[in-house]
A and B are shown apart, each in its own frame.
Chain A
Amino acid sequence: MTPRIQQLREQSLNAVYRISAERGLLMTEFYKNHVDPDDSIPVQRAKSFEYILSNKSICINELELIVGERGPAPKATPTYPEITVHSLHDLEILHSREKVWFRVDDQTRSSFEKTIIPFWNGRSNRDRMMEAMTSEWHDAYNAGIFTEFMEQRAPGHTVAGYKIYRKGMLDIIQDVEESMNSLDLINDPLAHDKKEELKGMKIVANAMIFFANRHADKLEKLAKTETNIERKAELTEIARICRRVPAYAPATFHEVLQHYWFVHLGVVTELNPWDSFNPGRLDQHLNSYYLKEIAQGTLTKEQAVELLESFWVKFNNHPSPPKIGITALESSTYTDFCLINLGGVKPDGTDAVNEMTYILLDVIEEMRLLQPSSMVQLSKLNPDSFIDRAVKITKTGFGQPSIFNTDAIIQELLNQGKNIVDARNGGCSGCVETGAFGIESYILCGYFNLPKILELTLHNGFDPRTHKQIGLKTGEVSEFKSYHNLLAAFKAQVEHFVRIKITGSNVIENIFMEHMPTPFLSLIIDDCVARGMDYIQGGSRYNTNYIQGVGVGTMTDALTALKKHVFEDKSISLPAFVAALESNFENNDELLYKLLYKTPKYGNDDEVADEQLVDVFNIYYDAVKGHKSPRGAEYRINLLPTTCHVYFGSVMHASADGRKAGLPVSEGISPVQGSDRNGPTSVLKSAAKIDHLHTGGTLLNQKFSPNFFEDDTAIRKVSGLVRSYFRMNGHHIQFNVVNASTLRDAQKHPEKYRNLIVRVAGYSDYFNDLGLDLQNEIIERTEHDSF
């Protein structure tokens, strides 16, 4: 690491998370005093974007090589009042909460109080949405049956494809004009809407060019006064680059990184989409630029690494926008889930690992930052040296990169009806979500609490926590004569709540389609320009909505326990079982003992337990698949939790697997914490019984003791373990390489472990930044040691 990168990295790590009122104020000012009410909504939105980029402060950090900040300074985080307007109370919570805080100074507070809140109160999307939801939706939401991703943030979960690395904004403007010229104004009923949308796209493309030039202006000014000759030359060169990109297609390695970064800033300034934005298959996009300049002698490997590391710091400067309430519970982290993909296959189906892949892996290892997140796509075509290199980084214990199965991803995408080349160009973003990069809008709608629905089933649709009848009356427990009856009741409840969830999501999607077009994002994702349609309105080539199932392990073990003890062994009646759960097993240690030690558990390659896993999967899959959204997306499932398994557990009584009331449910598709006793191969065999190819992503966490990864032979074995799982069509696996004793010590002495990073679920985080219940949950996960 060069001294410059060390300094930039330190600057980023030491920057204080804080709320910036800048964007909120500019947005308010635009809609108060500058908006033309005669403009269409896409044009209004485009002009508001233009207004922000023309007026926001330009930040050039000392020594950096890639420039541009979303806020006025690193980690100064904007808010999006048109989506969610934070009250003074919200600001106080953000300021003073123990974890994932954002400091709010007096001036910011006053800006909110005097300007932002009065204007946006009642006009934000969140206000519109909450008003539009039915009481059955609110009841289910408040009971913790599901969460809603669009409550405080905009739809996103999308990734840059090839286009953005090959075209400048001027090229795209030309495409916009062509699209405009080809509008069929006398036959197409949507032609007028398309024209307005395309007008908006042109405005934002020009606004972005202007924004880059504002950086060039400032850089030239700085260069003039800079006394250090080397830095002066750098500033002049970066100014030159900002005059070129993103207006023109990038020509050099430095230009392509700066080019992407401006695009990234555009997406996260326009709105606050989930998962920020994502450069996608970075090794594929950068390699030709790198090789060309190496051949020309205009770039050295060391310079390339320094540029990449400067680029890395930019991501770390940009925490996830502030979240409150249930949104904060389901995703309690600063990480904004930009997941860089490496490896996989080329569009022609051959091995895509290249020189840049290995350089980027070096960068990941050296930077050791939470953001950007990184993953490797492993295809059967990729060499062992690639996976071994990735596992060696995992061994250093910060949970990156995670490992994905390219061959499964391609099959998942084909199964969704994508063509083979689009599928090969795809990958995963966020935690583990599958998508066709650059051409798909795949939106996560919220988490779905499967174990809670079993709890409701055991109460005839009544929620014992909120004391409301929110589910169907599927029968008193005393009436269930067979396991089959119980399972059928559960299935009916799942279908009921999936219907409520999707109904709500569709209404919300309509609200976004009407009020929140995203002309800038639409420039980036094909075929929005060609179709003259906004990203949010279905302009992308492919559209998918995901609902993320949580607690599959807990569900499986609970069903197995009920099946065995109530209906097969008949050692306890169902009413008595439910009473024991309600009392949190008080005075019922015998039952708890039986549940914990005398019941087959998922994760042990035991057919008796895993049979219920398949049932749960099929019930959930069948309930969701095939439904349609207003923009034409098809609903599908994936299985991942972020931090939602902690929240979902907190709204539940004890569950039939022996989990006590309030404790987290299982995460991802991992077994219940501590219940997998036969080692990792058995976990993988059990997990592979899920039909991964019918999902848009599953998340499997495995914890290993560091001494397992002792030498190259052990690394090979871990790589082989991964390859085996992928041969069984497993979608994703990630490793926590840390001892439980280390984690316990870190709880006692947080000050000694300020740099301890762990894998949570689909992302890494500082252990100190996790809530106590999540810390405990990670400690409880089974640790595989070497036998």
Chain B
Amino acid sequence: MLDDLAHPILLLGTFTTCKKTGLQKQPSFKFTNFTSIIPPFFIFKMGIIFDIKRFAVHDGPGIRTTVFMKGCPLSCQWCHNPESISAAICTVPKTVRIGNKTFTENEIVGREMTVEEVMKELCREKIFMEETGGGVTFSGGEPLQQADFLQEMLNACKAERMHATVDTSGFSSWKTLEKIAENTDLFLYDLKLIDDALHKTYTGVSNKLMLENLEKLLEKGKKVRIRIPAIPGITFTEVNIQQTLNYLSKLKFKVEGVDLLPYHNTASHKYERFGLEYKLGELKTIKKTDLAETKQRFEKAGFEVKIGG
């Protein structure tokens, strides 16, 4: 079952024939039974990327380029990139006003790209990566959802001597994660809620697998920074903070550090634009100063802490 989640493509046996017949450029595919639609060109080492952001400075060390990969098995209610949850390429109307006229066109969210195409974009920033000890960060969505493509990307980064970070919830089979870990220099690993029931409520899945995977990664000696989204009343509660602290303190192998990510109330308009329901309603934006005390608590427990990543 877990393999199925991480490799949904394996369920789609029929598409291997596509490979043989070379139909990868077929314009449209009809899938009906999957919420996460994985088009068949996947197996030709193409990824679905919804953004490549240059000058990313909060996704790991130095100046980085972040590759946002589309598709996520979780559905966190506070998700800042709601357009990334579905793996399907979609369009959203975009409106611009010039003078008295309004121009609307459909913006395509998601783009199929080969490893080479993505590498070409990444290499543009190489000088900044080298100069600042930066690199590339794979984020999403959930990059492990496109594990084969991700692995190819990581191999290519290794060949280019680019520092590679994977920003993940860790929701995949260990087998998949283990393979990805080989060429990953740093994991940014989400730890949202320790209470599994709450985790299920707010993200749609259990945290059991994620916690197991985290421990295994650490055991393997991988570098991991924990990222805690501070969502008021949900993750940023006394109980969850204490539970998280207890959990991390008890781990046999230490994490590199902890990033506290303050919640911004800016995503709601994005939901509106994409025609999605924003379940959280009006939550208070968290200021950096609100996290100062929490930061101190983690620091006291021996963790290196950054606010905002």
Contact indicator A787/B56 (Cβ below 8 Å) = yes
Chain B residues within an 8 Å CB radius of A713: 306
A6 interface residue, CB < 8 Å from B? no
Q: Which of B82-123 contact A (CB under 8 A)?
A: 96, 98-101, 103
Chain B residues within an 8 Å CB radius of A710: 308
Contact string against B for A residues 671-702, beta-carbon threshold 8 Å, 1 for contact and 0 otherwise:
00000001111100100000000000000000
Report the bound CA distance from A604 to B96 in whole Å. Answer: 20
Contact indicator B127/A728 (Cβ below 8 Å) = yes
B125 interface residue, CB < 8 Å from A? yes
Shortest Cβ gap from B62 to chain A (Å): 7
Given contacts A680-B55, A681-B54, A786-B58, A721 and B124 within 8 Å (CB-CB): no
A723 interface residue, CB < 8 Å from B? yes
Contact indicator B54/A589 (Cβ below 8 Å) = no
Question: Which partner residue on chain A sits nearest B124 by CB separation?
Answer: A605
Given contacts A593-B98, A597-B96, A681-B63, A724 and B57 within 8 Å (CB-CB): no
The 8 Å CB contact of A720, one of B66, B98, B131, B306, is B131
Report the bound CA distance from A593 to B62 in whole Å. Answer: 37
Chain A residues within an 8 Å CB radius of B100: 589
A625 interface residue, CB < 8 Å from B? no
Chain B residues within an 8 Å CB radius of A714: 57
Chain A residues within an 8 Å CB radius of B63: 681, 717, 720-721, 724
Chain A residues within an 8 Å CB radius of B134: 720
The number of chain B residues touching the other chain, given as a range, is 20 to 34
Shortest Cβ gap from A593 to chain B (Å): 5
Chain A residues within an 8 Å CB radius of B128: 681, 720-721, 724
Report the bound CA distance from A273 to B116 in whole Å. Answer: 56
Contact indicator B57/A786 (Cβ below 8 Å) = yes
Which of A585, A680, A724 has most B Cβ within 10 Å?
Answer: A724
Chain A residues within an 8 Å CB radius of B201: none
Q: Which of A639-691 contact B (CB under 8 A)?
A: 678-682, 685
Contact string against B for A residues 712-738, beta-carbon threshold 8 Å, 1 for contact and 0 otherwise:
011011001101100110000000000
The 8 Å CB contact of B99, one of A589, A685, A728, A786, is A589
A784 interface residue, CB < 8 Å from B? yes
Shortest Cβ gap from A316 to chain B (Å): 36
Chain A residues within an 8 Å CB radius of B54: 605, 678-679, 681-682
Chain A residues within an 8 Å CB radius of B133: 720
Question: Which partner residue on chain A sits nearest B52 by CB separation?
Answer: A678
Chain B residues within an 8 Å CB radius of A724: 63, 127-128, 130-132
Chain B residues within an 8 Å CB radius of A746: none
Shortest Cβ gap from A387 to chain B (Å): 11
Shortest Cβ gap from A75 to chain B (Å): 43
Q: How many A residues, CB 8 Å from partner?
A: 29
Contact indicator B58/A787 (Cβ below 8 Å) = yes
Contact indicator A727/B127 (Cβ below 8 Å) = yes
Contact indicator B98/A679 (Cβ below 8 Å) = no
Question: Which partner residue on chain B sits nearest A683 by CB separation?
Answer: B55
Q: Which of A584-609 contact B (CB under 8 A)?
A: 585, 589-590, 592-593, 596-597, 605
Contact indicator A681/B55 (Cβ below 8 Å) = yes
Chain A residues within an 8 Å CB radius of B132: 716-717, 720-721, 724
The 8 Å CB contact of B62, one of A585, A589, A720, A787, is A720
Question: Which partner residue on chain A sits nearest B63 by CB separation?
Answer: A717
Chain B residues within an 8 Å CB radius of A597: 96, 103
Contact string against B for A residues 241-268, beta-carbon threshold 8 Å, 1 for contact and 0 otherwise:
0000000000000000000000000000
B53 interface residue, CB < 8 Å from A? yes
Question: Which partner residue on chain B sits nearest A708 by CB separation?
Answer: B57
Which secondary structure dominates chain B's binding surface?
Answer: mixed
Question: Which partner residue on chain B sits nearest A726 by CB separation?
Answer: B131
Contact indicator B57/A787 (Cβ below 8 Å) = yes
Contact indicator A727/B131 (Cβ below 8 Å) = yes
Which of B98, B125, B132, B306 has most A Cβ within 10 Å?
Answer: B98
The 8 Å CB contact of A787, one of B55, B101, B125, B306, is B55
Question: Which partner residue on chain B sits nearest A682 by CB separation?
Answer: B54
Shortest Cβ gap from B49 to chain A (Å): 15
Chain A residues within an 8 Å CB radius of B131: 720-721, 723-724, 727
Report the bound CA distance from A723 to B128 in whole Å. Answer: 8
Question: Which partner residue on chain B sits nearest A591 by CB separation?
Answer: B98
Contact string against A for B residues 133-145, beta-carbon threshold 8 Å, 1 for contact and 0 otherwise:
1100000000000
Question: Which partner residue on chain B sits nearest A595 by CB separation?
Answer: B98
Chain B residues within an 8 Å CB radius of A685: 124
Report the bound CA distance from A593 to B101 in whole Å. Answer: 10
Contact string against A for B residues 246-257, beta-carbon threshold 8 Å, 1 for contact and 0 otherwise:
000000000000
Question: Which partner residue on chain A sits nearest B99 by CB separation?
Answer: A589
Report the bound CA distance from A679 to B124 in whole Å. Answer: 13
Report the bound CA distance from A680 to B57 in whole Å. Answer: 12
The 8 Å CB contact of A592, one of B57, B66, B99, B306, is B99
Shortest Cβ gap from A692 to chain B (Å): 15
Report the bound CA distance from A721 to B128 in whole Å. Answer: 6
Shortest Cβ gap from B103 to chain A (Å): 5
Which of B55, B57, B100, B103 has most A Cβ within 10 Å?
Answer: B55
Chain A residues within an 8 Å CB radius of B53: 679, 787
Report the bound CA distance from A728 to B103 in whole Å. Answer: 39
Contact indicator A784/B55 (Cβ below 8 Å) = yes
Report the bound CA distance from A680 to B96 in whole Å. Answer: 24
Contact indicator A679/B96 (Cβ below 8 Å) = no
Shortest Cβ gap from A195 to chain B (Å): 56
The 8 Å CB contact of A717, one of B62, B101, B125, is B62
Q: Which of B15-32 contact A (CB under 8 A)?
A: none
Report the bound CA distance from A598 to B131 in whole Å. Answer: 33
Chain B residues within an 8 Å CB radius of A717: 57, 62-63, 132
Question: Which partner residue on chain A sits nearest B94 by CB separation?
Answer: A597
Report the bound CA distance from A787 to B65 in whole Å. Answer: 11
Shortest Cβ gap from B108 to chain A (Å): 15
Shortest Cβ gap from B38 to chain A (Å): 28
Report the bound CA distance from A714 to B128 in whole Å. Answer: 14
Contact string against A for B residues 42-68, beta-carbon threshold 8 Å, 1 for contact and 0 otherwise:
000000000001111110001100100
Report the bound CA distance from A705 to B62 in whole Å. Answer: 18
Report the bound CA distance from A786 to B63 in whole Å. Answer: 11
Report the bound CA distance from A592 to B102 in whole Å. Answer: 12
Given contacts A717-B62, A720-B132, A721-B63, A596 and B127 within 8 Å (CB-CB): no
Report the bound CA distance from A590 to B104 in whole Å. Answer: 12
Report the bound CA distance from A335 to B308 in whole Å. Answer: 40
Shortest Cβ gap from B174 to chain A (Å): 32
25 residue pairs bridging A and B, Cβ less than 8 Å apart: A589-B100, A590-B103, A593-B101, A597-B96, A605-B54, A679-B55, A681-B63, A708-B57, A710-B308, A713-B306, A714-B57, A716-B132, A717-B62, A717-B132, A720-B62, A720-B63, A720-B128, A720-B134, A721-B131, A724-B63, A724-B128, A724-B131, A786-B308, A787-B56, A787-B66
A-B interface, 4 closest residue pairs, ranked by CB to CB distance from nearest: A720-B132, A679-B55, A589-B101, A724-B131
Known contacts A589-B101, A597-B96, A784-B55, then 19 further A-B pairs from the complex at CB < 8 Å, ordered by chain A residue: A589-B98, A589-B103, A592-B98, A593-B96, A593-B98, A596-B98, A680-B55, A681-B54, A681-B55, A681-B128, A685-B124, A708-B57, A716-B132, A720-B63, A724-B127, A724-B131, A727-B131, A728-B127, A786-B57
